[in-house]
Structure 1
Amino acid sequence: MCDNELDFQTLARGPVTKYFSRDLLEEHLVWYAHQEYQIYQFDARPWYSLDNFYSDMHAGFQFPDYFGRNWDAFNDCLTDIASATGKVLVVVINFDDWYQEEEQSASLFLDYMAEQTYRFLLTSQRWITLIQSNDPGLQTRNIGAHPVHWNFLEWMNRDRGL
């Protein structure tokens, strides 16, 4: 893969991209690591409560102790995240579990991830969010004005076993 090929292909489809295959996701994570992305990886399975979600975000993003454990505080703390390389990758596995249980919260999370993408792009930096679903037919609502697409290697239904 050429330098920047994967990240540009991903961002061209929108600020958030879906994956079905964990193996493909892991392969792409290796590429992102070689490109010096600062990677934040989360598992959405325990996010059956907002308290668990906020605890994971606080620990994973290393939010300050004063993090208020609400959506406004989450957004404020996100805006303080900086990357020495100007490249951030957020990965959430088992996203479909959370989306099926808490669609409103999961959608709000994706909205905030999209906002971060646009903030970073304004300063020629990159913020990419990848969500992994065990449901090959996962449909989410649009994030901003963009649908959440499957990655370019799992674009076709047959690539996800459908």
Structure 2
Amino acid sequence: MTVGDRDARRAMGEHLLGSSPVTLFHRVDVLDRTLATLREAGYHVLRASATQWRTPKDMHRELARLLHFPDYYGENLDAFNDCLGDVAERAYGFPSDATGLVLVLTGYDTFAREFPELAHGLLDIFALRSRDALLSGEHLVCLVQSTDPRFSLPPVAATPVPWNEAERRDTDRDA
């Protein structure tokens, strides 16, 4: 692959990262189109259903499994931060030939209502580690799908969490 090909493949991730490392989606069809484009560009996509997380332990276990965290993972946000730092450095978590990593969290509003501080902390850490990864040319993107079209999140890593371009206006999420 030439440098130009690699740059073209990374353009979609860079576009998403331009606003924030974390982007909100409501409509599954819009999310699926975005994911198809990212997959075509070589991004490694990992998908988790946050509606299945009944406890913080459920969240930690699924993310540890998806991201191939080591067995000693401590199942808390400090340990998540440490291990995600290793993912950002490609120690594990996604293939070395991938353009970048996309973590998709569906039904996140359900989990966020039950565990608001944990839900925000998880995304805040992801956003910080995504910025760290950018310094070494890596892409970590988190796409958060909500079943509630009015769902909002506080800023992560001091950056507002925007809706994706296709659903930026409230009326765009009503369909």
TM-score by length of 2: 0.86
- In the alignment, which residue of structure 2 is the partner of 1:27? 33
State how far apart, in whole Å, the 2-side matches of 1:86 and 1:151 are: 20
Query: Which region of structure 1 is more displaced relative to structure 2, 6-15 or 72-81?
Result: 6-15
- Aligned residue pairs, count: 161
% same residue: 29
Residue identity opposite 1:122 in structure 2: L
* 2:42 and 2:99 in contact (8 A); partners too: no
State how far apart, in whole Å, the 1-side matches of 2:12 and 2:99 are: 16
> Are 1:44 and 2:33 an aligned pair?
no
Report SS of the residue matched to 2:52. coil
> Are 1:78 and 2:84 an aligned pair?
yes
CA deviation map 1:27-59 (0-9, x unaligned): 111111111112111110122211111110121
State how far apart, in whole Å, the 2-side matches of 1:40 and 1:66 are: 21
Residue identity opposite 1:70 in structure 2: N
Distance 1:143 1:132, change over 3 A: same
TM-score by length of 1: 0.93
Aligned ranges 1:13-162 → 2 under 5 Å? 13-81=19-87, 82=90, 83=94, 84=96, 85-161=98-174
State how far apart, in whole Å, the 2-side matches of 1:4 and 1:78 are: 20
Residue identity opposite 1:130 in structure 2: L
5+ residue gaps, structure 1, are none
RMSD over aligned Cα, in angstroms? 1.6
Q: Which structure dedicates a bigger proportion of its chain to helix?
A: 2
What is the CA-CA distance between 1:140 and the residue it aligns to?
0.9
5+ residue gaps, structure 2, are 1-7
